[in-house]
A and B are shown apart, each in its own frame.
Chain A
Amino acid sequence: MSQTFANRPIIKSLSFENLTFCYDSGSTIFEEVNFDFPMDNFAWIRSHHKGSGRATLLQIMAGLAPINSGKYLINEENVSEMSFEKFLPYRLSIGYSFGMGGLLHNKTLLENLTLPLLYHKLCSPEEAETRVNSYMQEMGILRYKDQRPSGVQGSVRKIACLLRPILINPQILLLDDPSLGLGQDMILKYFDLIQGLRQQGLAKHIFISTYDEKLMSLIEYREIFIDQRQLFSSDQGSEKKVVHL
């Protein structure tokens, strides 16, 4: 196991302090946001309309989208100005699943899924393959393991994309549209896997961005609402929301 992976910090808090994020086009997605993320549970990231920044919020949380100003604090430490190497221990504690894309097209599904395990020397190649095979078997995609992403159906790609972050046993799991292109049975199987991880003390903090109300009706969650370039938590009253508007 690599030194960095072994030194992963225990994540206790996530927060934004006066955070502003704009696209290159100039449109502002978040403006002067102060927010403490609810921890130790599922959190549903919602908004009234598409394009309000749900996926961007997850990317900022994963450290994939550099912010324009303000602070992104993990355990009260500002990580927004950290170099790739300094942020690495935090990054390895965060699993991120893309809404669309994200698999390496010149590698097979098996190679895609074993890549983080082998790169960070978390286990031997044989152990990595066994571990990935068991997850793929559970999700019913084992027969596609030697296929490249372009050779399989979208749903198989999506499952592979959902499996990859949980293989490194993250503390935080960020899921962007997890049910997109998947049947209800598949997504439920996946959530069973996550529950299994949670029982082992992993994937403690899960943030889901989705419009799938049916899926969320099966989960106990707290709400994070994006409105008017601000974030609101479900336990925040409407009075506070008015202040931001």
Chain B
Amino acid sequence: MDCIAFYALAAVTLVSAAAVVRLRNVLHSALFLGLSLSGVAGLFASLGADFLFAAQILIYVSGIAVLVLFVVLLAGRHSELHLRQTNKQWLPALAIAGTALWALSRVARPFSGLLAPADGQPTTRVIGGLLMGDYAVPFELISLILIAALIGAIVFTGVEAE
């Protein structure tokens, strides 16, 4: 059961990620991005990280993917469907990605046969305690970053008064 769930989620994540990268229509790419992020949310759930599962759905699937979709709809043109959407550097890019994959597999090899030691515990309460305790300063800094991003987005997209 565990096995089937993992392989199904991994297949959904990776296939839709490949679709994000390869599809010609950017709108379809944005939709598949949402599906891929949902797959990652399912993998979080299979890891027992319940709060991350909820946060992934809230922030990525219903926030970032929808935002990307809006920008695709606002900044897209019909003629783009007939243009090539990738540049000519696919061979070097493939080499770089392959090298990264090889290096990652080398790094990950010592951890290969590790099984999960125990059943997962609910994490939400512990995370809340840590955010108010040990990680209080980074938590406040994150809110500062979010305010800065908010103001920056308004400044960049705002229309100047003529």
A, B assembled together: no
